[in-house]
Amino acid sequence: MNYGLTGLESKIGRKTVLTGYVSNDPIEKEKSRNFEFKAEKADGREVSGRIMIYAALYPRYRYGGYLEINCDLKRPGSFGGFAYDRYLAKEGIGFVCFYPEIKKTGEGGNEFFRLLFKTRDRFSEIFASALPEREAELAKAIFLGKGKELSDDSREVFSRSGLAHLAAVSGLHVGLVSAAIFTSLLSVGIGRRRAFYLAIVFVWLYVLFSGAAASAIRAGIMGLLALLAAHCGRLNKLVNLIVFAAAVMLFVNPMLLRDDAGFQLSFAAMGGIAIFYPLFARFRKKEFSRPVKLVFDLTALSLAAQIFVVPFAASKFGIISLVALPANLAVIWALPLIFFTLFFGLGLALILPAFAGLFLAPAFIVLKFVAVAADFFAGLPFSSLDYDFSGFWPTTGYGAAVIVLYFVLFRLAERKAKPEIDIITFDFSSEKW
């Protein structure tokens, strides 16, 4: 593994005194926390390298905190079939340190990010104090992009129910939520162009609330690409935009292609939507009422995304959810409500903290529904399969089935008259609904 020269290589396996600062928002677990550390000096000599630090839950260290760390520096390895070294390397992290002696010496980092992470911490504290534990961790995962802090049990439930994207900072999650928000705005009478711009505002608010990390920015770009293609009325051009965006991102960081599950799932989902969604739209009848059209579009959107996501998710996580489509249809309508109720509830809670529980009560109801739905679908007999999809024959067989499905749908679609609007949910070329 080529990590690049950092000046820390000679310190591996030795006790080293490091000075530097916390370079990202720490991730909290039940009994520990881990954070990225930008080393500036090692034993008094200037170095440049990023280290993943594993520390006790307390005391808390936040972004920008200058620390002096007495550390036994190590290279990351692999465990349980997971290439942890490659996972860290794609983020530019080449070293790990477990439970070192830590002393805080000051504050540093970027002023904007200090304010951003301080705001996120305040939001997390409000969620923790005003909501039950499970709903609080779900709110933090969906609203703040803190899916890595979910408990192992919750992560298992969401994986088996096909709702894992709710806890992931990915283009799939941003795309589905922005689509749901857009259609919700249309349903209450907001014009298409205005709804489009409001959806863009949501995308960038999500990127900010998720900490503006590289993964969040990539997810935001994917969501914006879909909205942009829709705004131009050319969803079929989305494939070109996806290829261009992927090329740019891989030029910046080639490791994403092999080692970033979020990158793979995002592009797989958007590719599925770009290729299959227009075909599904051909089967929507003009005489459908508005609610039926909305249900049809959301169903087609979820199904198109899942067609390409399934093999990537199965190869990465070893789980194939058989209930992903009905589970997503059951909860997708709730996602805009979660964002709206959390956004306004948080605003009021910041003004009157004593009534945070009351202000977040509507959000609790919706979050509770999502949690119960995930439990229900994950608990169904044969809701999922434990299957390794990484072999040659499973991948080839699934790819052949997708190609056959495409040509069958294409031939059937040729017999259908072209709908009045190709993509009702996403066509912005007209103000009519």
Torsion of CA 43, 31, 359, 355, to 10 degrees: -90
Residues 353 and 271 in one domain: yes
d(C-alpha 256, C-alpha 107), whole Å: 32
**pLDDT-based confidence at 416, cuts 50/70/90?**
low
Task: Give bridge partners of residue 319 from the DSSP assignment.
Answer: 386
Q: 334-351 vs 111-130: helix axis angle to the nearest 10?
A: 100
Number of domains comprising the chain: 2
**pLDDT-based confidence at 420, cuts 50/70/90?**
very low
- What pLDDT is stored for residue 12 in this prediction? 84
- What pLDDT is stored for residue 372 in this prediction? 95
Q: How far, in Å, are 14, 131, 133, 245, 321 from residue 271 at the CA level?
A: 47, 37, 36, 12, 20
Domain contains 63: yes
**pLDDT-based confidence at 319, cuts 50/70/90?**
confident
Of 234, 232, 237, 266, which is closest to residue 250 (Cα–Cα)? 266
* Residue 431 in this model has a pLDDT that exceeds 60: no
- What pLDDT is stored for residue 380 in this prediction? 92
Torsion of CA 232, 233, 235, 238, to 10 degrees: -10
Domain contains 1: no
Point out the domain boundary residue: 109, 143, 164.
109
Domain contains 308: yes
Residues 15 and 99 in one domain: yes
Residues 102 and 73 in one domain: yes
- What pLDDT is stored for residue 356 in this prediction? 92
Domain contains 16: yes
* Residue 415 in this model has a pLDDT that exceeds 90: no
- Residue 342 φ/ψ, nearest 5 degrees: -70, -40
Q: What is the pLDDT of residues 359-411, one digit of tens each?
A: 999 999 999 999 999 999 999 988 888 876 667 777 788 889 999 988 988 88
Domain contains 175: yes
Residues 158 and 44 in one domain: no
Stronger pLDDT, 421 or 7, i.e. the higher one: 7
Q: What is the pLDDT of residues 110-149, one digit of tens each?
A: 888 888 888 888 999 999 999 999 999 999 988 888 877 7
d(C-alpha 260, C-alpha 265), whole Å: 9
Domain hosting 77: range is 9-109
Q: What is the pLDDT of residues 152-185, one digit of tens each?
A: 888 889 888 888 877 776 666 676 667 667 766 7
Q: What is the pLDDT of residues 84-103, one digit of tens each?
A: 888 888 888 889 999 999 99
Residues 40 and 144 in one domain: no
d(C-alpha 148, C-alpha 52), whole Å: 15
Domain contains 304: yes
Tell me the pLDDT of the chain averaged across its residues.
81
Residues 170 and 55 in one domain: no
Q: Could you tell me whether strands 101-107 and 65-72 are parallel, antiparallel, or unpaired per DSSP bridges? A: antiparallel
Stronger pLDDT, 281 or 18, i.e. the higher one: 18
* Residue 427 in this model has a pLDDT that exceeds 90: no
Domain contains 433: no
Residues 31 and 167 in one domain: no
Residues 100 and 126 in one domain: no
CATH of the domain at 80: 2.40.50
Residues 185 and 78 in one domain: no
Residues 122 and 96 in one domain: no
407-415 long-range Cβ contacts below 8 angstroms, 24+ apart: 409/276, 409/279, 409/280, 410/279, 412/283, 413/279, 413/282, 413/283
Residues 130 and 90 in one domain: no
Q: Would you give the distance in Å from CA 334 to the centre of its chain?
A: 17
Domain contains 430: no
Residues 359 and 245 in one domain: yes
Q: Which residue has the tokens 């863009």?
A: 200
Point out the domain boundary residue: 109, 127, 148.
109
Point out the domain boundary residue: 84, 109, 134.
109
